[in-house]
């Protein structure tokens, strides 16, 4: 067992990248999927890279068009809405957490078609309404509202969607 340990260092010890290796790895990382500078900073921190070199690497990625915060915000909003069925509030909160500027968050949210948004909300409301088994209508409504708010939909639109379903 001790021979194994000598040849295989602990998996928790991560090897740091050289400057050129970092450029190459980050280019691949950003080309694979849209990223924001916050995610790149986290990746560099994991690799033990900090200081001026971080800004230099991020500038390189921006100059080479691997990193574009507006493109990221638009892609993020489209993806989370279409795939995870998130509402605007959740998307906005997640983008803020990733330190995306407010004006770019607005541009990202503009990617969501209002009609498609409301249709998705109605569909999610119907699904949750059917799955929620509670004889007390007030409790059932409370659970559905809570679920939809957690997904990031706006309270007024949720109320409208529930009223629409209950009137059917």
Q: Which two tokens stand for residue 140?
A: 């059932």
- Give the per-residue pLDDT at 168: 76
Using the predicted structure, report yes or no on whether residue 2 has a pLDDT greater than 80: no
Q: Where are the beta strands (DSSP E) in the chain?
A: none
The pTM (predicted TM-score) of the whole model is: 0.85
pLDDT in tens, 124-141: 999 999 999 989 999 999
The per-residue pLDDT for range 38-77, each reduced to its tens digit, is 999 999 999 888 889 999 999 999 999 999 999 999 999 9
Q: What is the pLDDT of residue 36?
A: 96
Compute the distance between CA of residue 144 and CA of residue 127 in angstroms, rounded to an integer.
Answer: 10
Q: In 10 A of CB 56, how many CB atoms?
A: 13
Task: Look at residue 167 in the predicted model and tell me its pLDDT.
Answer: 82
What would the two tokens of residue 72 be?
A: 């990221």
How many Cβ atoms from other residues are within 10 Å of residue 55's Cβ?
A: 11
> What does the pLDDT look like over 72-106, one tens digit per residue?
999 999 999 999 999 999 999 999 999 999 999 99
Report the Cα–Cα distance between both ends of the chain, in Å, rounded: 69
Residue 144 CA to residue 131 CA, distance in Å, equals: 10
Q: Which of 53, 58, 56, 22 is nearest to 38 (CA)?
A: 58
């Amino acid at each position: 067992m001790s021979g194994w340990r000598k040849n295989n260092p602990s998996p928790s010890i991560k090897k740091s990248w050289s400057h050129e290796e970092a450029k190459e790895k980050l280019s691949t990382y950003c080309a694979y999927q849209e990223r924001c500078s916050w995610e790149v900073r986290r990746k560099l921190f994991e690799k033990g890279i900090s200081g001026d070199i971080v800004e230099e690497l991020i500038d390189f990625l921006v100059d080479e068009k691997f990193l574009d915060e507006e493109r990221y915000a638009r892609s993020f909003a489209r993806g989370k809405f279409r795939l995870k069925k998130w509402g605007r509030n959740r998307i906005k909160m997640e983008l803020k957490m990733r330190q995306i500027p407010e004006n770019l968050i607005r541009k990202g949210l503009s990617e969501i078609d209002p009609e498609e948004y409301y249709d998705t909300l109605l569909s999610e409301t119907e699904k949750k309404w059917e799955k929620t088994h509670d004889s007390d209508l007030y409790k059932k409504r409370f659970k559905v509202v809570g679920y939809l708010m957690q997904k990031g939909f706006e309270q007024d639109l949720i109320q409208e969607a529930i009223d629409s379903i209950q009137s059917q």
